[in-house]
């Protein structure tokens, strides 16, 4: 998310607020005092611990701390900060909850980290238009808690309780995307502070139209821009009605290929599935051990349906016929602790324990698995190669809940991301097939 302002000229003026020293910089005392004049002394920090905390996210990239961290309280202060940094040629790095997986918060050339979490108000709720206006510090869970009695909800769920404007900046998605779309489909308008401090409303001030043919799609331009075009200080988001009823089901398969084929057939039949998630047998076993579940250990699809009672009965019946017939699978409506809604609540803690198990070097386990999986999916027989290859090496070695060794530091002999691999229990997980970039 680093936003390098006036990149072509800032190096030419070392006597100004920012003095280049390799890949990191050093802010002058006068510039730090100027920051304090904008947001107040309590909201500016140059402490090493604070800077390191803001120099990393959940990716495998090494910590690259900024030179200062500021906490603005309103959009006027953000605008003044942007203008000040633009005038002095200082990079700006917006920061939310720090749950990103791409290393966007790393200050590769130093600069000022703008932590937007203090701007956490829900500014406007439009029940008739199914939209809400939020500041960048509002998180996904906080918004849905606020909407609890309105009959509406925001369905995009990337797993972590990320800030909503951070989800906009990264173009987040989640398991509900199959029905409700990604962030790109659910953003109606953005308030953005541009590099020079000017304020921009991408769809016009106060507007939240579902569609428009009036010129360029500026809103879509900023979604997924990761802070490189400006700082998002407010977002108008599309809301959805809370479904009348929810039905969950699982379908266990003898192989990954059978699960993939069934998923394709379900989507081709236009069954309005709200959520689809796949876990192989190793992942199921790891989650059973960590969260004390008793789910069937087999490649499994977790499905969730939203709608009226009558519609749900038809959807479940059609899905059962499409997903299981002739494939040796076992399908059943879910009850108890293996319901997808219950499983997601208990599986997320296991997922986020991976960095704790592996130590600092394991922070990038999740994005590394995703990137390697994408390369393997392009192979002629992805199911055979993906059969437990990644999740078996990570999830199967998660300690059980309460295990004394669950929160130990780095395992002995841990490889860092520079060597393209980590040690996971007794396994070594390469980031690339054959342990080298671009390997087969």
In this structure, is residue 1 part of a structural domain? no
- Please give the pLDDT value at position 146: 97
Report whether 92 contacts 47 (CB < 8 A).
no
Report yes or no on 193 lying in a domain: yes
- Alpha carbons 9 and 93: distance in angstroms, whole number: 18
Under 8 Å between Cβ of 168 and 219: no
Say if residue 340's pLDDT is above 70.
no
- Note whether 265 and 303 are same-domain residues: yes
If asked whether residues 197 and 234 sit together in one domain, one would say yes
Q: Is residue 3 part of a domain?
A: no
Whether 151 and 94 map to the same domain: the answer is no
Query: How far is residue 347's CA from residue 352's CA, in Å, rounded to a whole number?
Result: 9
Domain range for 357: 352-435
Stated length of the chain = 440
Residues 166 and 269 in one domain: no
Predicted TM-score of the model (pTM): 0.74
Average pLDDT for residues 284-291, to the nearest whole number? 80
DSSP annotation of 334: -
The structural domain count of the chain equals: 4
How far are the Cα atoms of 36, 61, 111, 122, 145 from residue 55, in angstroms, in the given order?
A: 21, 10, 11, 28, 30
Within-domain flag for 152? yes
What integer pLDDT is reported at residue 296 of this predicted model?
A: 83
Which residue is it, tokens 């797993």? 159
Copy the structure tokens of residue 281: 């047998």
Continuous H helices in 139-215? 140-146, 164-170, 177-180
Q: Is residue 4 part of a domain?
A: no
Q: What tens digit of pLDDT does each residue of 31-88 get?
A: 999 999 999 999 999 999 999 999 988 887 888 899 999 999 999 999 999 999 999 9
Per-residue burial over 394-403, b = 16 or more CB atoms within 10 Å of its CB, e = otherwise:
bbbbbbeeee
**Residue 209, domain CATH:** 3.30.465.10
Residue 234 clears pLDDT 80, i.e. is over it: yes
In a domain? residue 126: yes
> Torsions phi, psi of 303, nearest 5?
-125, 150
The predicted-structure confidence for 301-325, as pLDDT tens digits, reads as follows 888 999 988 888 888 888 877 755 4
Single out the residue in 241, 260, 285 at which a domain terminates.
Answer: 241
Asked if 336 and 367 sit in the same domain, the reply is no
Sorted by sequence, the CB contacts under 8 Å of residue 97 that are 6+ apart come out as 117, 139, 160, 161, 162, 163, 166
Give residue 4's pLDDT band: very low, low, confident or very high (50, 70, 90).
very low
Question: To the nearest whole number, what is the mean pLDDT of the chain?
Answer: 76
pLDDT at 427 over 70: no
CA dihedral 208, 163, 217, 80 (to 10 degrees): 90
pLDDT of 344: 54
Closest Cα to residue 235, out of 175, 171, 177, 174? 171
Q: Is the per-residue pLDDT at 292 higher than 90?
A: no
On whether residue 413 sits in a domain, the answer given is yes
Question: In this structure, what CATH number is given to the domain that contains residue 62?
Answer: 3.30.43.10
pLDDT of 3 > 50? The answer is no
Read off the pLDDT of each residue in 375-384 and give the average, rounded to a whole number: 51
- Taking the C-alpha atoms of residue 301 and residue 250, their distance in angstroms, rounded to an integer, is 6
Among the listed residues 19, 73, 70, the one whose alpha carbon sits nearest the alpha carbon of residue 45: 70
Residue 163, CB half-sphere, CA atoms under 13 Å: how many? Answer: 27
**pLDDT higher than 80, residue 380:** no
Closest by CA position to 191, among listed 239, 140, 136, 111: 136
Lowest mean pLDDT segment, chosen from 25-34, 38-47, 143-152 = 25-34
pLDDT band at 366 (very low <50, low <70, confident <90, very high): low
The token duo for 175 is 């398991």
Q: How far apart are CA 249 and CA 425, in angstroms?
A: 33
pLDDT at position 72 is 98
Q: What CATH number did the domain enclosing 259 receive?
A: 3.30.70.2190
Contact assessment for residue 394 and residue 280, using Cβ atoms and an 8 Å cutoff = no
126 and 218 share a domain?
yes
Q: Which residues pair with 428 in a beta bridge?
A: 423
Domain boundary residue, one of 348, 371, 386: 348
Does residue 233 sit in the same domain as residue 134?
A: yes
Domain membership flag for residue 2: no
Same domain, 313 and 357: no
Return the number of other C-beta atoms located less than 10 Å from residue 386's C-beta: 19
How much is the pLDDT for 9? 36
Quick one: 139 and 195 in the same domain? yes
Whether residue 432 has pLDDT greater than 50: no
Residue 202 has pLDDT above 50, yes or no: yes
Query: In this structure, are 100 and 152 located in the same domain?
Result: no
Same domain, 420 and 377: yes
pLDDT value at residue 420 = 32
d(CA 131, CA 70): 30
Model pLDDT, residue 384: 46
Q: Which of 241, 262, 281 is the last residue of a domain?
A: 241
| Confidence category of residue 191, pLDDT binned at 50, 70, 90 | very high
329 and 416 in one domain?
Answer: no
- The whole-number average pLDDT for the span 219-223 is 95
Least confident of 144-158, 212-226, 424-438: 424-438
Based on DSSP, count helices (H) and strands (E) in the chain, helices before strands.
15, 19
d(CA 252, CA 170): 33
């Amino acid at each position: 998310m680093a936003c390098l302002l006036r990149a072509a000229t800032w190096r030419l003026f070392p006597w100004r607020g920012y003095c280049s020293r390799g890949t990191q910089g050093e802010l002058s005392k006068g510039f730090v005092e100027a920051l304090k004049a904008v947001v107040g002394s309590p909201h500016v920090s140059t402490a090493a611990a604070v800077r390191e905390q803001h120099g990393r996210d959940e990716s495998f990239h090494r910590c690259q701390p900024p030179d200062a961290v500021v906490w603005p309280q309103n959009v006027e202060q953000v605008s003044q900060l942007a203008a000040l940094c633009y005038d002095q040629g200082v990079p700006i790095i917006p920061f939310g909850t720090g749950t990103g997986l791409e290393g966007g918060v790393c200050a590769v050339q130093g600069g000022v980290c703008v932590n937007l979490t203090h701007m956490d108000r829900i500014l406007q709720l439009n029940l008739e238009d199914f939209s809400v206006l939020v500041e960048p510090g509002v998180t996904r869970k906080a918004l849905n808690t606020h909407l609890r009695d309105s009959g509406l909800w925001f369905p995009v769920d990337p797993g972590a309780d990320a800030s909503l404007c951070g989800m906009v900046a990264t173009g987040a998605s989640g398991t509900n995307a199959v029905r409700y779309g990604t962030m790109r489909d659910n953003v109606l308008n953005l308030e953005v502070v541009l590099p020079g401090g000017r304020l921009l409303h991408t769809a016009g001030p106060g507007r939240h139209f579902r569609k428009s043919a009036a010129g360029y799609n500026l809103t879509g331009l900023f979604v997924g821009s990761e802070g490189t075009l400006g700082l998002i200080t407010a977002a108008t988001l599309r809301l959805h009605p809370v479904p009348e009823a929810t039905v969950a089901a699982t379908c266990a398969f003898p192989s990954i290929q059978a699960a993939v084929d069934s998923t394709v057939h379900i989507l081709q039949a236009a069954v309005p599935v709200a959520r689809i998630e796949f876990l192989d047998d190793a992942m199921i076993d790891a989650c059973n051990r960590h969260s004390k579940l008793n789910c069937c250990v087999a490649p499994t699809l977790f499905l969730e349906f939203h709608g009226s009672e009558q519609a749900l009965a038809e959807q479940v019946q059609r899905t059962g016929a499409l997903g299981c017939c002739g494939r040796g699978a076992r399908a059943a409506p879910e009850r108890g602790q293996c319901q997808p809604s219950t499983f997601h609540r208990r599986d997320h803690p296991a997922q986020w324990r991976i960095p704790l198990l592996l130590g600092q070097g394991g922070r990038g386990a999740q994005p590394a698995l995703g990137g390697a999986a994408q390369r393997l999916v392009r192979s002629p027989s992805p199911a055979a190669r993906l059969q437990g290859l990644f999740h078996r090496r990570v999830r199967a070695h998660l300690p059980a809940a309460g295990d004394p060794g669950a929160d130990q530091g780095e395992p002995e002999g841990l490889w860092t991301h520079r060597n393209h691999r980590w040690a996971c229990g007794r396994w070594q997980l390469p980031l690339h097939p054959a342990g080298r970039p671009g390997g087969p």
